Structure 1
Amino acid sequence: MRSRERRVAEAVTAYLARAGQHPEPRALAHVVGAAAGAASCALVIDQQRYQWGEHPGPWLEHDISYGDVVVGTLAVAPESVRRLPAVAAVLGPPVATIRMAEGTDRLRREGDAATRALADERWRAAAEMELQRRGLERDLHDGAQHNLVALRMSLALLEHEISAGKGRERVPDLLAQLATAERVLLHTAAGILPGTLVADGVAVALRTEMAKHGTVTFDATEVRRRYPTPVESAVYFVVLEAVNNARKHAPGARIVVALRDDDRGLEFTVADDGPGFSMTTPNGGLSNLAMRAASVGGTIEVHSQPGAGTTVRGVVPL
């Protein structure tokens, strides 16, 4: 072995004795380069380059083998540095060790990433299930309850009429309302939106619902286009619940529902001339309205005071 290669081999052996079982590839390249009198030295292991020095090259390269397998490449610059085949042979075992350690670490990182991805996927699935559960809960509350409230009020009126000896002719109408409420419950549980909402849009669907209530006036003459199904569904259920709230808390009050679209987006208003309420009083129904609108990027404003009725305004932006 020539004196330069002997010097480099001795420097490598000394470094390995200090590093033990965990040689650091960039430090090893530094030891080789400095002992060989190179301006720069690099070890290339599994396409990863560990370089000492900033010489631009050209580079003189040697394969590093361990047994019959090439485990890396030794590169020195400038190219005028004499070839170092014996040094490349000495580097075989430590480079094989580094390669194995790097491979093990890569597999560990990939395993950790896969574990995190699986955990994230499980979390997303659980979150999606919770969102679907809450969505079903809101649909039951806002949609089916609308029909049940109407049925309850009709029953109360029928009870009063029967006590006065009349009203039996309204029984078939009540049975029809009961069948409608049952159908809405089944469709909601199955995730099926009202047919008119899907086929004809929110304006037609709300007009169909509002026509069932003599105290409700509906105007959608300024709705000129369709919106994505999630938007129309959210507005549909928000308006239904707002009307429900008015009918429950302001029985007999006149209710005006308006729907319009403009350059802001899809806007809606539900106003009644009932007794109103204090805005400082907690109201869970209003929170439900806001959550439903927010699910499609919309906002809700509620204005009310005792003796002045209640107005619910909302908009889902384009």
Structure 2
Amino acid sequence: MRARERRVIEAVAACLGAEPDPRVLASTIGTAAGATGCALVVAGERYQWGDGGPWLEQVVTYGGEPQGVLAVTPEAVGPLPAVAAVLGLPLAVIRLTTETDRLRREGDAAARELVDDRWRAAAEMEQERRGLERDLHDGAQHHLVALRMRLALVEHTGRGVDDLLKRLDTAERVLVDTAGGVLPVALVNGGLAAALKAELASHADVTLDIGGLRRRYPSVVETAVYFVCMEAVNNAHKHARGARITVSARDSYRGLEFEVTDDGPGFVVTPSSGLRNLTTRAADVGGTAEVVSAPGQGTTVRGVVPL
């Protein structure tokens, strides 16, 4: 063994600890060997001290398996086979530590991604559930309220059983379609005007003013406005029985404007009035909706979805 290699090995032995530092090793080897640069390449990572070139490289093995590469410069330093043999175990420890850290980081990232995916899936499921809840509330409930009113009339007069059964079939169809995520056929095929006419034309207490609605809008916009109008009519039927209701929709320079008014008793609008669903639906498609009411002055729900 050459004197230089013995000196390097002694220096390496003096700096080794339970967890060898590859940067300290590279500095120690380079200094003891009189090199201008030394590098250790372990597990794809290069730990270098000094600089220069060209580099003289030597594979470091342990247990018959490559653990890394020892590189020194200049080439005049010559090969250091005895040093490479001594470095086998330290580089094996460094390689295992590096790969363990990498696997732990990848595992942590995968765990975080799994948690994110679970939260995302839960949020999407909750959004779907809330959407279905709103559709049932705004669409199907309208028919159920109408059924209740018709039932009271049948009970009072003893007539209209056939009409009651027809309305019951309609309510059942709406419930099934809504639960299945199916929009009213008139809304899909004919747009907002056709859907409002199909649902409200048969109500004697409702006046439709949709002559100014001549164009089609994106499906999500027409759906949102349709359900806002249905909920407003439904609220009027529940809380302003016997009132005259007017539903209007029109194209304007601002976009799709809509309004539902009744001449019922009115009420004091407060944040707890339960009308958030109306404003949320309009906001979901970039629009606005407001409720205007006062005791003795009826109620108006108006809004617009910009072009």
Partner of 2:294: 305
Residues 279-318 of structure 1: matches in 2 within 5 Å?
279-280=269-270, 282-284=272-274, 286-317=275-306
Q: Distance in 2 between matches of 1:104 and 1:281?
A: 56
Secondary structure of the residue aligned to 1:221 is coil
1:54-113 deviations in Å (ceiling 9; x for gaps): x36443322222233222122334555444333223222111111112222222232333
**Residue number among 194, 203, 208 corresponding to 2:193 in the alignment:** 203
- Is the 1:223–1:259 Cα contact (8 Å) retained in structure 2? no
- Structure 1 length as normaliser, TM-score? 0.83
- The AA in structure 2 aligned to 1:75 is A
Runs of 5+ consecutive residues of structure 2 not aligned to the other structure: none
Runs of 5+ consecutive residues of structure 1 not aligned to the other structure: 163-167
Query: In the alignment, is residue 52 of structure 1 matched against residue 49 of structure 2?
Result: yes
**Residue number among 118, 123, 127 corresponding to 1:127 in the alignment:** 123
CA gap 1:30/1:275 in 2 versus in 1, 3 angstroms: farther
**Residue number among 156, 179, 182 corresponding to 2:169 in the alignment:** 179
- Cα RMSD for the two superposed structures: 2.7
Residues 153-232 of structure 1: matches in 2 within 5 Å?
153-162=149-158, 168=159, 170-214=160-204, 215-219=206-210, 221-227=212-218, 229-232=219-222
Q: Distance in 1 between matches of 2:41 and 2:156?
A: 92
- The AA in structure 2 aligned to 1:10 is E
The Cα of 1:262 is off from its aligned counterpart by 5.9
Query: In the alignment, is residue 251 of structure 1 matched against residue 241 of structure 2?
Result: yes
Partner of 1:165: none
Query: In the alignment, is residue 5 of structure 1 matched against residue 1 of structure 2?
Result: no
Partner of 2:94: 98
- The AA in structure 2 aligned to 1:206 is L
Q: Distance in 2 between matches of 1:96 and 1:266?
A: 71
The Cα of 1:201 is off from its aligned counterpart by 2.6
Residues 55-74 of structure 1: matches in 2 within 5 Å?
55=51, 57-74=53-70
Q: Distance in 2 between matches of 1:232 and 1:239?
A: 11
Q: Distance in 2 between matches of 1:33 and 1:231?
A: 72
Secondary structure of the residue aligned to 2:296 is coil
- Is the 1:207–1:218 Cα contact (8 Å) retained in structure 2? no
1:171-212 deviations in Å (ceiling 9; x for gaps): 211211111011111222222221222233333222321212
**Residue number among 101, 107, 112 corresponding to 1:116 in the alignment:** 112
CA gap 1:98/1:147 in 2 versus in 1, 3 angstroms: same
- The AA in structure 2 aligned to 1:12 is V
The Cα of 1:47 is off from its aligned counterpart by 1.7
The Cα of 1:241 is off from its aligned counterpart by 0.5
Q: Distance in 2 between matches of 1:56 and 1:197?
A: 76
- Is the 2:67–2:92 Cα contact (8 Å) retained in structure 1? yes
- Is the 1:210–1:218 Cα contact (8 Å) retained in structure 2? no
Q: Distance in 1 between matches of 2:157 and 2:65?
A: 98
Partner of 1:42: 39
The Cα of 1:137 is off from its aligned counterpart by 1.8
Partner of 1:25: 22
Query: In the alignment, is residue 278 of structure 1 matched against residue 268 of structure 2?
Result: yes
Calculate percent identity across the aligned residue pairs: 64
Q: Distance in 1 between matches of 2:225 and 2:52?
A: 65
CA gap 1:94/1:181 in 2 versus in 1, 3 angstroms: same
- Is the 1:147–1:177 Cα contact (8 Å) retained in structure 2? yes
Name which of structure 1's ranges 208-217 and 256-265 shifts more when overlaid on structure 2.
256-265
Give the paired residue count: 306
Query: In the alignment, is residue 238 of structure 1 matched against residue 234 of structure 2?
Result: no
Query: In the alignment, is residue 148 of structure 1 matched against residue 139 of structure 2?
Result: no
- The AA in structure 1 aligned to 2:141 is Q
- Is the 1:297–1:317 Cα contact (8 Å) retained in structure 2? yes
